[in-house]
A and B are shown apart, each in its own frame.
Chain A
Amino acid sequence: MIGFETLLLVVILSVISALVYVIVGILPGTDETATMAPIALALLIAGLDPILVLAWFMASIVAFKTADAVPVALAGIPGGVMAVPQVPDAVEAKRAGKADVILRKGITSSMIASFVALILVLVLAFYLKPLGDFLNTKDVVYGVSVPRWFWLLMAGLLVLALTSRNRLLALLTIPAFAILIQGLRLAYDKTAIISFFLGITIGPLVIELLEVLSGYARDRVRRGYLNVKLEPVSSIPLNPLRHLSREELGHVLLWPPITSILAMVMSPVGLTILVGDLLKGLKRNPLEASILAYTVRDGVKNATYIGGLLIPLLVIGAPTGPMSAGPGLPFFTEIKGVVPAKYIMANHSYLEIALTLLLSTAVAMLVAYPMLIRYSRKLTLLVFKTIPAESLYGLFLAIVVLLAYYDAGLRGVLGVFMVSIVSGILWRNGVSLGVLFMTLVAAPTLFAFIKLV
């Protein structure tokens, strides 16, 4: 039973999370998994009630996925990986002097999409709950005990591998990476997951750093500071109803809910790219096409993160797609004998969970929306001028090392290093990190099948 104290904590945590992730969202080069997952993991390890961590995480999704488009609109710089597809359209709009137009449309779209997707996901998950028992039933296949959700995970994994930039390498990676993970688990003498997960998360950063430090990245050497041109913004009214045209509102009410369901097994970035490209085909005028694609993509980002996490969490209790097996994996990871997703479902009624999620989303919206609509330019200036990339990357790496040490001592730290090098090289060669996250979850069952041959 959730009491007044818990609800108060939900509000406080959601406010803090929204404030922190508005800033993280504005900062360039902040990968979603690297910034959201370790903090959620740390809160879970610290013993905070998983439903409070879920409230924190929901608020971070709403704030981060709204704020990461702000530097795109103002400076053409993505504030996160999910905002990268919006850059070309933002450049087109900026060229026409429409930076403030896409800024307000994007923020409003994110807000509406977050709310609509959450309502849809909560209703859908409630009716799909009986399916959870079916998907959690284990079958014996060639002597291997396999939960049925494993096949859903494998279907998503294969789709993601086949849509990776380097599909052959992505396909070959699946069994090979499973062997690496299971081999390292033997060296750990335990079924560790945290340090492997963190290793994949920081793979791209570690490989870029190693290349730079080893002198292999001469093409990335720069002289002088990074020049950032910030577009002017006129005063924007707070009323969200004045920001979207009827056509835009229709698309925002249609596509984010659809993609929130598809994100159960499909990649959020892939869906964001797909929907934007589809919509651009509807418009002849390139500027109108760019504004529409930018606006709807902003909403799709939030919706795919919400659906991609919550449908597997509320229905199955196991990760089935790149979101739940990526940034959301802490909720499906056994921590001190408890899987947070299962703990939440076992200890709280569906109504309590739904109310907590609605409250944290509403609080995050109330914090992020006025901040970003009114002060986006001042905030961007402040963040760009005071927070150096070095401090931020240093903090991520330090958190990862601490958590890996806590997970498995020095072996955990070395395991993170090994997995991050392999993950970084595969990522550099066109393998989506989602393939690696999903293989990590599938590794024990995959390895059991590989042993049969």
Chain B
Amino acid sequence: MTSMGERDPEGSGDFVEIYGEYVKPLDLAIAFLVTIVGGAVFYVVAPTFLSFISMPEATRAPLSITIGLIGASIGFLVTLLFIKPKRVVVEG
């Protein structure tokens, strides 16, 4: 058997099981904050950006939420850099 994941830090900290996954509440809070801040910043800045590129006013609102969701997705990708999965995969 080969261990393929992160080294199991037995005793290094408590996790909680949510939907069958082990989750560190602090990491979840950080992930949510980073993602929502990414989304909110893009959503707030979007109307100014859209008016700057002369986008008609009627399409600014729906495009703003799209840009906000792009911001949230970027936030999600950023969290992948510093939050590690709490799984040890053992190949049988």
Contacts and interface: CB of A to CB of B under 8 A. Distances in A.
Interface residues of B, number: 57
B35 to A, nearest CB: 4
A9 interface: no
A381 B80 contact: no
B18 A42 contact: no
Contacts of B32: 393-394, 397-398
Given A28-B20, A209-B28, A227 B88 contact: yes
Contacts of B83: 388, 390-391
Interface string A223-241: 1111111111000000000
A402 B39 contact: yes
Contact of B15 (A47, A78, A221, A336): A221
Contact of A225 (B35, B73, B75, B86): B86
A427 to B, nearest CB: 12
Contacts of A390: 23-24, 27-28, 30-31, 79, 83
B36 interface: yes
A355 interface: no
Contacts, number: 188
B89 A398 contact: no
B68 interface: yes
Contact of B86 (A31, A220, A226): A226
Contact of A230 (B25, B27, B90): B90
A63 B71 CA distance: 25
Contact of B25 (A42, A213, A402): A213
A221 B23 CA distance: 9
Given A224-B15, A406-B68, 17 more contacts: A45-B62, A46-B62, A46-B65, A204-B19, A208-B19, A212-B18, A217-B16, A220-B16, A223-B13, A227-B8, A384-B87, A388-B83, A390-B27, A394-B76, A395-B35, A397-B36, A399-B69
28 contacts: A28-B19, A29-B19, A29-B21, A46-B66, A46-B69, A205-B18, A208-B18, A220-B16, A221-B15, A223-B10, A224-B9, A224-B12, A224-B15, A225-B22, A226-B86, A229-B90, A230-B92, A381-B91, A385-B85, A386-B80, A391-B31, A393-B18, A394-B28, A394-B79, A397-B35, A397-B36, A401-B36, A406-B43
